[in-house]
């Protein structure tokens, strides 16, 4: 028997059915380091000259490919090793290769200055590519661990004293510590900036696709969750180096509060 539908009472409310979302897996940065030499490379040796040349050439290649990425140009016959970077992940891979070479050399006279240059180049390259959290956070985690290791002469994975040094003895000059700290603070700020812009682009894309923006506070809150756990991980960029250098700062200052509140 056919029963006509009952008119809907305006005072009636729908029963909300909450379907729990699948929790996102926790992400943690990875750290792998090659085996180091047992002793630093002798100063003035042919091996030292070769290492300096290798690192210099590598940095120049990364800079050149990054410049071509900024220009968006490449000749059809350009070798693959010299073509512009298509993503930050490609640039980070080249930087990591040079970091590994420097770490394996166990030669502070070459390591620290080259690492500062590479870290600065990586930081300034961030805005030129769409934000890609895993390779970005991984490369900065590696640089952070290596800088902290050189400051304390302690291997970040084994806890052993680094070759040619005693535990607790810094292999970094005071001037270099100031530069590392400044670079670390700028990088953290840059990561937050790129992460925020990435969020804005994602929200704009959602508006364009749907024809309208978020309809209520709940949707806005869910939009903020898009970058989890990246926002939390961004607060840990250069965490080891900043904490270590803050502890060594006699004034107890240095801009840490600005970033801890982000």
- The verdict on whether omega for the bond into residue 5 sits within 30 degrees of 0, i.e. cis, is no
Query: Does residue 258 or residue 27 have the better pLDDT?
Result: 27
**Residues 157, 160, 164: CA angle, nearest 5 degrees:** 120
Tell me the per-residue pLDDT of 213-249, one tens digit each, with 9 for 90 and over.
433 444 444 444 445 568 888 899 999 999 999 876 6
Per-domain residue ranges of the chain: 48-71+79-205+222-250
Work out the pLDDT band at 137, boundaries 50, 70, 90: very high
Rounded to two decimals, the pTM is 0.77
Give Cα separations from 91 to 4, 86, 99 (angstroms).
Answer: 67, 9, 12
Q: How far apart are CA 111 and CA 144, in angstroms?
A: 14
Q: Which residue has the tokens 């930050």?
A: 88
For 62-82, how does the pLDDT look when each residue is reduced to its tens digit (9 = 90+)? 999 999 998 888 888 888 888
For residues 92 and 132, what is the distance between their CA atoms, to the nearest angstrom? 11
Q: What are phi and psi of 161, to 5 degrees?
A: -70, 140
pLDDT at 105 over 70: yes
Closest CA to 258 of 164, 192, 169, 163: 192
């Amino acid at each position: 028997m056919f029963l006509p539908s009952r008119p809907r009472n305006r005072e009636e409310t729908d029963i909300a059915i909450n379907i729990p979302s699948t929790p996102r897996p926790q992400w943690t940065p990875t750290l792998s380091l090659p085996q180091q030499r047992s002793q630093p490379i002798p100063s003035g040796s042919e091996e030292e000259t070769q290492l300096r040349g290798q690192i210099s050439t590598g940095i120049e290649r990364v800079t050149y490919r990054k410049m071509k990425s900024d220009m968006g140009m490449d000749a059809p016959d350009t070798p693959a090793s010299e073509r512009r970077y298509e993503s930050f992940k490609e640039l980070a891979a080249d930087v990591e290769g040079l970091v590994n070479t420097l770490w394996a050399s166990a030669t502070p006279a070459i390591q620290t200055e080259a690492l500062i240059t590479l870290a600065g180049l990586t930081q300034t390259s961030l805005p030129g590519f769409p934000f890609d959290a895993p390779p970005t956070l991984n490369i900065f985690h590696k640089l952070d661990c290596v800088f902290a290791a050189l400051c304390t002469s302690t291997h970040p994975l084994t806890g052993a004293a680094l070759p040619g040094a005693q535990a607790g003895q810094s292999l970094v000059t005071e001037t270099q510590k100031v530069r590392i700290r400044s670079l670390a603070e700028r990088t953290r700020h840059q990561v937050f900036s790129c992460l925020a812009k990435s969020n804005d682009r994602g929200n704009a894309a959602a508006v364009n696709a749907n024809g309208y923006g978020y309809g209520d506070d709940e949707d806005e809150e869910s939009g903020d969750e898009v970058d989890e756990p990246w926002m939390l991980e961004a607060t840990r960029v250069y965490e080891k180096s900043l904490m270590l250098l803050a502890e060594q700062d006699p004034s107890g200052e240095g801009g840490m509060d600005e970033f801890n509140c982000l």
